[in-house]
Amino acid sequence: LSTFPSIPTAVDGVRFSAGLENLASVMDRGTLVRGMQAADLGFILHSRHQFNWHTGYVPPQTVAAPHLGAWMARTRGPLDPAMPAFINIGQRFDLGEGEELKAFTTAGFLGSEYGPFNVAFPEQAADAVRPPAGMSPGRFENRDAFYRKLLEASPLGRDGSGYQKESLLRAMDNAHRLLSSPSAKAFDLALEPLDRTRKYFPAFEPGMRFDAPRDRFGAKYEESMVGRFGLGCLLARRLCEAGARFIEVTTEYIPFLNWDTHENGHARLVGMKQMIDAPIAQLVRDLDERGLLDRTLVVVASEFSRDMMLEGKPEKAVKDQVVVPTVINDEKFYGMHRHFTAAGSVLLFGGGMKRGYVHGVTADERPCRTIKDPVTISDLHATIYRAMGIPPNHGYDVEKRPFYVTSDGKGKAVRELFA
């Protein structure tokens, strides 16, 4: 069912796809969930399922649903009061389906102070927590006072609730606190030893920047993503050590790029595996060596998986597609794949999870659906929240009705995953 051979892992009987040798070497420290099932949302679309994955709810909602990280920020808070509790690394919002991504990359009704601190380019993260050159303390204070006047005259200032305005001002205060805090050094990758940085991105050279390539279909973009994701994982480790509560590192979603493999799938996946293999494995090793893995949960996941097809429309049933043979003999067929929700895999490391454990079974023949121990998004979220000490029915009243961290508060943690 693949154009790649399988390779052994550090766990007997568990095999990965070739190209994931580093991840295979740390499988003895992780749990593999094989029966991940995405929600039935009608049309199987990236943006809708990304919304569902990150919030636990089906779009659209009558209230702004908070991101998983915002719930963590509101409920658990940062370990260091100067450090943002929720940090999002690697995603831009000014191209592709940026507006759809903004819909769930938010604190929603929880308030601006619990929203994400966005870092699109990890190699430039230090610039985001450093006052601009020539910005004196007095000039900075004048700008802050002027901003507050603008806020009062804005639609939010005129028509927003007191809570919304106060939350936005608290978010500004939090940002000011970080600018003058020693914790800001965690954002500076130049402080990391070069040999350690190259374990996350072997081709790294000091002074590298990845913000220049913007061509949607150019090879330079995907080449740059190898470095961006690798340095993103390194930045995540530094921020974790500094007291951030929730960090998301993404390979950046742009239609028809990265994992959105609608053509040349074999060649594309060679590059995608290169992008994630060494950085994630090195993150796991570093956290383990520093004694942080047991109290840090690393989740490797996507919004859904794929099933083979030659042509057709995502909303059609498998039987209505023009399919390729079960055995793929021509690499050109690999990558012309239908969006698939009936099975998928999630890797979990640390956070009290078992080590070297596999949960769930999928069918050996197409369409390879989950046949034992399925795990839904709601249950996966409940599992993540349980690792953080948050019950699945925790929530707040919004517009006189309860809103929970899992859908309707009914998520159930998969207790078999915990050691």
Looking at the structure, tell me whether residues 222 and 350 fall in a common domain. no
Domain hosting 177: range is: 75-260
Looking at the structure, tell me whether residues 240 and 298 fall in a common domain. no
Q: Quick count: other Cβ atoms within 10 Å of Cβ 330?
A: 10
**Residue 265 domain-assigned?**
no
**Residues 386 and 352 sit within 8 Å (Cβ to Cβ):** no
* Cα gap 315→261, rounded to integer Å: 17
In total, how many domains does the chain have? 2
pTM for this prediction: 0.89
Closest CA to 345 of 72, 106, 20, 101: 20
pLDDT confidence of residue 88: 95
Give 206-221 pLDDT, tens digit per residue.
988 887 555 444 456 6
Give 27-74 pLDDT, tens digit per residue.
999 999 998 888 877 777 788 888 889 998 888 888 889 999 999 999
- Where helices occur in 201-342 by DSSP H, the ranges are 219-242, 265-289
**Residue 269 domain-assigned?**
no
Looking at the structure, tell me whether residues 200 and 337 fall in a common domain. no
pLDDT confidence of residue 334: 61
Give 311's DSSP letter: B
Beta pairing partners, 338:
307
pLDDT confidence of residue 310: 46
**Residue 154 domain-assigned?**
yes
pLDDT confidence of residue 330: 65
Closest CA to 413 of 30, 388, 403: 388
**Residue 46 domain-assigned?**
yes
Looking at the structure, tell me whether residues 114 and 214 fall in a common domain. yes
Looking at the structure, tell me whether residues 144 and 29 fall in a common domain. no
Q: Which of 227, 260, 293 is the last residue of a domain?
A: 260
Q: Which residues of the chain fall below pLDDT 50?
A: 215-218, 310-312, 314
**Residues 46 and 257 sit within 8 Å (Cβ to Cβ):** no
Looking at the structure, tell me whether residues 146 and 290 fall in a common domain. no
Looking at the structure, tell me whether residues 288 and 251 fall in a common domain. no
Looking at the structure, tell me whether residues 130 and 164 fall in a common domain. yes
* Calculated CA dihedral for residues 407, 390, 63, 103, nearest 10 degrees: -90
Amino acid at 371: I
